Each structure stands twice: as C-alpha cells, then as structure tokens.
Structure 1
Amino acid sequence: MARAIGAGVALAALTISGAARAEWWEAETSHFIVYSESKKEDAEQFARLLERYDNALRYLQGRPVPGPDMGKANKVKVFRSGDTDDIAALAGAPESGIYGFYIPRAGSTVAFVPARNKRRDGVGVRTLNEVQLDTQRVLFHEYTHHFMLTNFSTAYPYWYTEGFAEVYGTIELRDDGSFHLGNVPQARGEALRVLPDTRLSRMFDHKVKLKGMELMQSYSVGWLLSHYLNFSQERKGQLPAYLSALNKGEDSLEAAKRIFGDLDKLQAELRKYKNGPFPGYDIKPASYVEPVVTMRALAPVEESLMSSYIRSQRGVDQKQAKDVARDVAGKDAANPDSLFAQLVVAEAQLDAKNYDAAEAAAKRAIAIAPASSLAHFMMGGVFMARGEADKAQYAAARPWFEKAHQLDLKDPRPMIGLYMSYFEAGEAIPEAALITLEDAWDYASYDTGYRLILARQLLNENKGKLAKDVLSPIAYSAHGSDKENKILATVEFIEQDKLDDARAKIAEIFQEQKDEAAGKKKG
C-alpha cells in the first residue's frame, strides 16, 4: 500500500514488460528476496553477492554471521528488471542515469536495479559489467544505511552517514570469501580532484546550510574524511570520540574542535591525503560459509503480473494507482488458486481506493492461504482506508491486524497498523497496542515513518529523552535544503525541555505528509 509522487512510472511499466515473455526467477537468501528478469545462474549469483555483503558488514561490526532470523517480511525485496533507462524512469527521473534506488519501508523494503544495459547501441553505452558494478555500488551504499539503522541507534552527522556508506559501499568481494575494504569510489575521487574543498569548519557546523558546489563537494569530502579517520593511525580513536560526544548532546562544531584540534590542520592533512595512496585492508573471515540461495522459477501468472507488482511496490500517486488497478482488474477472479494474484490485485485496488474490489481479493487470498499474515494485513488495510470517511471502520480493522500479528510475529506492519487504528480513531490507546508498537522497533527501526510515529507517541507520554533517542539518528539531513529540518528542530526542542513545542513541531511533520498524500503543494 505504497504511495509515491513522480512521473515516469507508467512509461517504465511499458518498457519493463516488453513484448517477449521474460524469464523470471526468485532468489531468496537470509536477508534478501531477488526477483530477477534474467537467467537462473545470473539471478542466483546476484543474490549471493548481496548476502555476502551483508555478511561482510556483520563481520566488520562484530555482529553474528549470518545473523538472527528477521522473518520473511523484513527481507529486502530487490527487483532486477529492464535496463538503466527503465530504472531511471521508474525512479521518476527519466534519462538521469540512475542505476538503482532503494525505499526503506517497514515490512516492505524494496530496491530496483536494471537486469541489462541500455537496449540502444552507440556512443556512451556502457558495458553490462560496468552497469552491474555501478548497480552493486548503489545497492551496497543504500543497504549500509539500512543495516546501520537496523543494528545501531547512534546519531551520525550527515557527512559521516554518507561517507561511511561510501567507504563500505566500495567493498570488493572475492571468490574465496575474502574482501577488500578501502577502495576509492570513482565519482568521489574525480570530484576531489577537480572541485575546491568544502571547509571543515562549515561542514561540521549544523547551523550552516551548504548549497551549490559546496554542497556537492561535501559528499566527496565526507567520504575522504571518513576514510582518513577510519584508516589513519595518527588520528586513531578520534572518530569514535567525536560520535560519542554528539550522542551526548555536544555541539558538532565544538566537539570537532575539541577532539580533532585545529580544523585548518586537519583540512591540510586531507588535501595531502586525497592524492593517495589510500590504505585498505584485506579481510578473510574465519570459517567462511558460502551463503545459501533458494531458487524458484516464477509461475506464469506471477510473470504476467510482475510489471504491475513492480509499480505498486515502487509506490503510486492517484493517477498511477488507477492505471495499475485497471491493468490488474479481474486477474484475481481469473486466477482463483493464486495467492500472489489476489495480493497484487488487493494492493492495487486499495491504492486506487476501490475498496470493495480490494476486499474481494483479500478475502480470496485468505481463503487460499488462511495462514497468510499478509492477506489478513491487507484486509485490515481495507478497513483502515474506509476509516478516513467512517471512523467506525477503524475498529473493524483491528481483528485483522491482530490475526496478522499472530500469524507473523516479526512483520512490523500489523503491529503498527493495530496502534494506528486507535490513534486515527481518536480513541484511548490500550497498553497492549502501545507495547506492540514498541515491539515493532526490532523490525522497523530503519523506517523514518515508523520512528516518527513512535516518537510522537513517546512525546504524548512526556517521555522526551526516549523520543530524542528515537529521532536523533534521522535528525541530520543535508545542509542544502531551504526547508526547515523539522526532525532536528523537534530534537532541539526536546533538548531544551520544551515538549509542547516538540509536539507541535512533530505535528507539523505529519500534517505535511497528509497534505502531500492529498496532492496539495506546500510552499
């Protein structure tokens, strides 16, 4: 039940589906489900690569490998389809050169990458290996953010969040199970060579709004600084001390001056460091075990609906929702034994606000698979949507969410849905629903929307410190936007013990979200 604002999705669907029947495979590992429009061997290799990257992150961060079972709902779904032009269009940025993108959503995190190079021939067309390498780096970078928010509650400054993801995102995985850490991201290296520095005294200052060339270069300087502080023996221990100071509430610029010393001296060291050579580590985990990949060929009905499923998972605005609903109309009744068909149709019709059609498909899904948590969650979603016009419908959603939760204790969606059924109804929220909302943390902490919901509830309970802990890791945003960083403003009000102001500020965030969902333009 995703939403998105942007052009190009309907066009992308035409090019992705194509005239010829594609070969589709599902490749599942401990942390990923890959839907790949490719040969079986190619899909399997790609899924194994992603799982190996997760294992490398776990090894480097001292986490157990392969990690605890997070449940199927919490695996990242990667759609590997079309070519690079299709992916850019699907992202809402045609001809932008985007090689992939990622959307973190509780219980439904997705990523979209190309399965092949551009179809046309000519100057500027890159080889498939080059495209796959860039796709890999995009996914590795974004998954690093996902991994860190899932496993750690530290509030990182934006330059380090991005710089850290770049340092780790260039990991080179080798066939023997080893990997190399420390490679230079080529785009950053070129920017460092040709663009002027961003001043560290400005980059460390969260009150400064960087714009234009200075903002663009801050990403490269952020990578360089992250690399230097992680690998430099002379400055060993300074980075953890700085991050710890931030999490204790110290001003970023003052903490930087205290811990790093003369920032002009650090800047001079970076200027020298960017000329290389860049140190790195070759790492061979002990007792390496190759990830297990379970392969399954998609059924014909799944292949026929994959284009629509991709559009729904990408997220749709109201016009796009109606297009997808029209494309899948009747496919549930025509495939009465397919759980996949029922769920795809239910979601598409729900997005298009065709609630009766969505309910009919959800009922078919439950009849086919009474133990399907997602089918029960979808039914709850139908009544939640109806609740916008009739608040009595919120109560009708609760039994479906409760059943969905019983069937899958690790899916955060019914946990959040149950809580929201009380909140949206304006009713007193029972203790059990509050506990369930908090329990979703283990499976949804990477989702900004969930963190905002939880923080709002904590603020309503006058638990300011807990609300700050929830918001701080997502409070630092890029310096370049002219819009107020309302999450950071909320945190600052909490630090000043102005909880009424914090509640008012977070209310503004939710109102903006409602306005955007309704298609209103905000100034």
Structure 2
Amino acid sequence: MRNGIRRLAVLVSAGLLLAGAAPLQATTWYRARTAHFVMYSDGDPKALRTLAQKAQKFEAVLNDRYKAVFDPDTPPIDIYILRSQENVAKLMGGSKTTAGFYKPDTEGSIILSNREGASNELDLDRDSTLFHEYTHYFMLHNFVSAYPAWFTEGFAELLATVEFPAKGGYEIGRPPKYRAYGLFMSTPVPITSILGESSFSGNAEQLDFRYGRSWLLTHMLVVGTKRKGQMDTYLNLLNTGTALPEAAQQAFGDLAQLDKDLDKYRSGRLTYYRFDMPASDAPEPAIEQLDAVETQLIPYRLMRRAGDDAASAVEPLALIAQANPASAAAWFEFARAASVAADEASDSGAKAALRQRAADALDRVLSLDPAHVRALLYKAEAQAEHLHFIGNNDPARWKEVGTLLRRANAGNPNDPLVLYQWYRNFGLRREAPPQNARDALARAFQLAPDVTDIRVAYGFDLARHDDFTNALAVVRPIAFDPHNAQAGISVLLSLREMQKRRDQEKKDGKASVNAAH
C-alpha cells in the first residue's frame, strides 16, 4: 500500500506541476505521418488530415517546379501545428511577430506553425505560414547554391502564396497581401542595405519592409520578364566569391534605378502563373492519436527544442517519467532535457548532477528498449565527450563507445546524427578520421544538409584534404543565413585563411625543391 500511496503522490505532484509550467497544454494530440514529414496537432484530426494533404500538394509543387527531390532515406521533418500565432509567440519568448519558424537542428529539424485562420485578407494565414517555413527547409535540402538573405526570405514569400483553386492546378506569383503594410506604408530601408547585408535586422517595421521588398524583388527577377538573366548572373557571382554589394552592382547595374524599377513594378499589374497539378502517388497521410504519455511530453519537448528552455522542462519531465516507469519515451525526453540543461548550466556541481541524471535516464530507456537508436547514440556521445574531457585514450573504453554507435547504426543505417557522431569520435580521440568515417560524414550531409554542425564539419573535412572549392561551396550558404549569418561568415573566413596557409605551404615547398636543384 505504501508504494501505491507514493505513486499517487508522484502523479498528483506531476499534475500540479504540469498545470502551469508549459506554454501549451492539450487534451489530445494527433499525428499525421507522410513520407517526408510528420505533422502534430492538438486540433481536430480531420483538420489535421486536410492540412497534411495540402502540405503534400505543396511539396509536389516544389518538386514539379524545381525538379528537385529529397533523398529517399532523408528522415522526415517534424511539423508542430499550434492553436494560434499567440501560442507560437509565447513559446518563442513572447515575440509578437513570430507566427511560425523553421529550426535546423542536429537532433532533427523542426517546423513550428499554427492553424489560425486569417480574419481578413490582410492577415497572415495558416497556409502561408506553413508554406513559407517549409520552403526554407526545401531550399537547404535541394538547392546547392548559396542564396543571400533577401532572396531566401523573398523566395519563401513567393511560394507562401501558392494557391490550389477549386478548378484544379496550382498558382504561383500571387502577392502576399499580409505584406501590404510593409510594401506600401513602412519606413523604407535603402536598397543598398537590403542587397548588401548578410542577414535581416531592424525593428518590426523595418523587418516588415525588408520582407515585403524582398518578395517584390524576387517576384520581379524570377516571375517578371524585364530583367531576365540578371538573377542567374548575380547568383553565379556570389557563389564564386564576389561580395554582396559588388555582385548586386555587377548583376543589376545602377541600384538607384533598380529601386525605382521596384516601385514601378509594385504599382503595376503583377503576373502570376497557373500550372496543372502533377500526378502523385503519395499515399494518404496516416492519422493516429497519441497516447496519454506522449500528449504530456509534447509541450516539454517543444519547450526544450523550440523555446530553448531545457532547464524548465527537466523537473516536469522527471515527474512524468517517474509516473510512467515503463515508458521509454518518457525517460528519453527526460534524458534529453537533463543533458541539454547540463550543457547550458554554469555551475559545475549542477552540471555534473544533471549529466548523471541524464545518463541514468538513458540506461532506463535501454533497459526498456535495448535497440533505441537515439538512446544508444546519446549514451555513446556522452561517454566519448567525457573520455575526451579527461584525456582518456584507453582503447577498451573507446571500443565501448564504438559498439554503442554500431548498434545504433544497425538500428537505423540512415540516421544522420549517428553517422556524424561516428566521424566526431575520431576528433575526440585526437585521431585523423579514416575513410569510412569520412564517408559516414558525407552521407550525413546528404541526409541532413540543413544541419549547420554537419555542414561545417563536412566543409572542414573537405578542406583538410585540399578540396577547398567544394569546402567553400558547402559552407557558403550559412554565411547568408537571414537570422544568424555572422557564425557562417566566421566559418567561411576560417576556411579562406586555411586555404591561404595551405597555398603558402605549397609555394614554400616548391621553392625549397627548386633551391635544392
């Protein structure tokens, strides 16, 4: 009886804590599975099916227009559909301008959107939000070139307004009426600033103008007919190392005239195109109701992964796991929150305690599900990083790490994070990665090219083997990230310095050989 009373106390405590800790709670969550995405929603399952079907049609449009397809083994992206834009904003720390976002991540990229309908034609609607964010994901997976911030956002806005009329087919090029204020009323941002900066910055009004103007410029150069070929010239210049301002000047000519042409284009009759819908053999989305434990976990998973607040999720997840001791999913979510919170903790004692709790939780997961791929992976990663930290090169200990990763790879040969960690292990051991590790990294990049850590590692691996042309091409896209370009610029500069040193070493070596003769 005492055990029963203790279990009841845990359940009651969990209920009290869960009542106010997370930014969103739901009675029931549903999941729609497709080949390329898994969509979650706490709304009506019929509405979820409709939205998932529309997302499938949108994906078919992207493949039809841009002749690009995902690697068939690419892990599906998780898409979370929240009740309203306000829910998204709260999760993101109260940013009133955030209706959705796309987050590339080593754990698996996610999209956050909402199912709130527009109250009028000038409101941002659910379809446009989802299409915009999915376009970002599509570009990083399928387009090999680097694109400047203005085009990345402008292209996403161009495709955000794709429509599927009742008479069939699809339409591309309609204006985003929700950008009307940014297009006509906001304080202008100079065209030299839009074209010359690597990321988007400014206050809400300036950002609205940047988004609107970026859409207009993209529409004029991609859909319009008067400046044909200029966009291709511009992108070729950027992707061969020309700086943003110079590339714009060379491709578009007088930028003041370009600005005037944009104003004229905005006031004219905008073109849009209608196309036949491509044939599709995609199966209907499979809709399933999440069980009670999974429903409890989702708010805290989002708190950690979307809200970047793992620390606040640790104790609620611990209570959920304790209340559901046979749930591998609950113990795994707790382990992830504790591990991420440990990485972020500044106090050494708290950091050590959280890491131990995470390790114990992973052991619980593996006792319940010995083939749990991600539990095997994260246990291997934690052990490898600990051995690296204490400088332990004991072959037996590193063999244990390798065994865990081999088991994870056997469970899912196409998990990009497992492949990436196999490559990382050699760096943590301070050893040169062998060819099979380099091949694993290359495959990880094929499967998850949107993940910055994998892209950067692959770029540096190519550079260390004197393939600087491809190394720079791999890294260049993150130097134009609309929201975090500076990190990418730093990586790009490091690669260029590395190339200069290597060129000088070759020059010095050649000079030495000539002197010897």
TM-score, normalised on structure 2?
Answer: 0.80
d(CA) in 2 for partners of 1:243 and 1:142?
22
Asked if residue 57 in structure 1 is aligned to residue 62 in structure 2, the reply is yes
Closer, same or farther: CA 477–108 of 1 in aligned 2, 3 Å: closer
Partner of 1:443: 447
CA drift at 1:217: 3.2
Partner of 2:390: 390
The residue matched to 2:171 in structure 1 has which SS?
strand
Q: Aligned letter for 1:472?
A: R
Q: 2: distance between equivalents of 1:347 and 1:417?
A: 16
When the two chains are superposed, the root-mean-square deviation of aligned CA atoms in Å is: 3.4
Task: Establish whether residue 346 from structure 1 lines up as the match of residue 351 from structure 2.
Answer: no
* Partners of 2:388 and 2:187 in 1: CA distance: 52
CA-CA distance at 1:343 after TM superposition: 2.2
Deviation at 1:445, TM superposition (A): 0.8
Alignment correspondent of 2:512: none
- The 5-angstrom pairing of residues 448-459 of structure 1 reads 448-459=452-463
Q: How far apart are residue 97 of structure 1 and its match?
A: 4.3
Please name the residue that 1:511 is paired with.
Answer: none
Whether 1:17 aligns to 2:25 is yes
Q: What is the CA-CA distance between 1:233 and the residue it aligns to?
A: 2.1
CA offsets per residue over residues 269-307 of structure 1, 9 Å max, x none? 211111132110112224245652011111122123222
How far did 1:31 drift? 1.3
* Stretch moving more, 108-117 or 487-496: 487-496
2:71–2:446 Cα contact (<8 Å) kept: no
Per the alignment, residue 222 of structure 1 pairs with 214
Moved more, 245-254 or 141-150: 245-254
| Secondary structure of residue in 2 paired with 1:329 | helix
Counterpart in the other structure of 2:434: 430
| Equivalent position of 1:4 in the other structure | none
Residue in structure 1 matched with residue 377 of structure 2 by the alignment: 377
Which residue does 1:287 correspond to in 2? 279
Q: Distance in 1 between matches of 2:209 and 2:97?
A: 19
User: What corresponds to 2:259 in structure 1?
Assistant: 267
Q: Distance in 2 between matches of 1:501 and 1:371?
A: 44
How far did residue 378 of structure 1 move?
3.1
Q: Alpha-carbon deviation of 1:202?
A: 4.8
Q: For 1:37-48, what aligned pairs fall within 5 Å after superposition?
A: 37-48=42-53
After superposition, the C-alpha distances for 1:328-382 in whole angstroms (9 at most, x for unaligned) are 2254465354332232233233334434443343334334444432232232244
Q: Which amino acid aligns with 2:91?
A: L
Q: Taking structure 1 as reference, are residues 486 and 377 closer, same or farther at Cα in structure 2, changes over 3 Å only?
A: closer
Relative to structure 1, the CA distance from residue 129 to residue 81 in structure 2 (aligned partners, 3 Å threshold; closer, same or farther) is farther
User: Any stretches of 5+ residues in structure 1 without a counterpart?
Assistant: 1-9, 118-125, 503-523
Relative distance call for 1:11 and 1:157 in structure 2 (3 A) is farther
The separation in 2 between residues aligned to 1:175 and 1:150, in whole angstroms, is 30
154, 162, 170: which one pairs with 2:145? 154
**1:98-131 CA deviation, whole Å, 9 max, x = no partner?**
22222111351112234568xxxxxxxx759998
Partner of 2:7: none
Q: Distance in 2 between matches of 1:25 and 1:16?
A: 15
Q: Give the superposition deviation at 1:431.
A: 2.7
* Structure 2 unaligned regions, length at least 5: 1-17, 343-353, 504-517
TM-score, normalization by structure 1: 0.79
Aligned to 1:33: 38
User: Which of 117, 120, 136 is the equivalent residue of 1:145?
Assistant: 136
State how many pairs are aligned: 470
Question: Residue 428 of structure 1: SS of its match in structure 2?
Answer: coil
1:467 aligns with 2:467: no
Which is helix-richer, 1 or 2?
2
Alpha carbons 2:200, 2:210 under 8 Å: kept? no
Deviation at 1:47, TM superposition (A): 1.7
Q: 1 CA distance for matches of 2:494 and 2:430?
A: 25
Give 1:427's aligned amino acid.
Answer: E
Kindly state the Cα deviation for residue 154 of structure 1 after the two structures are TM-superposed.
0.4
Question: 1:362 aligns to what?
Answer: 362
Amino acid at match of 1:413: L
Tell which structure's C-alpha radius of gyration is larger: 2
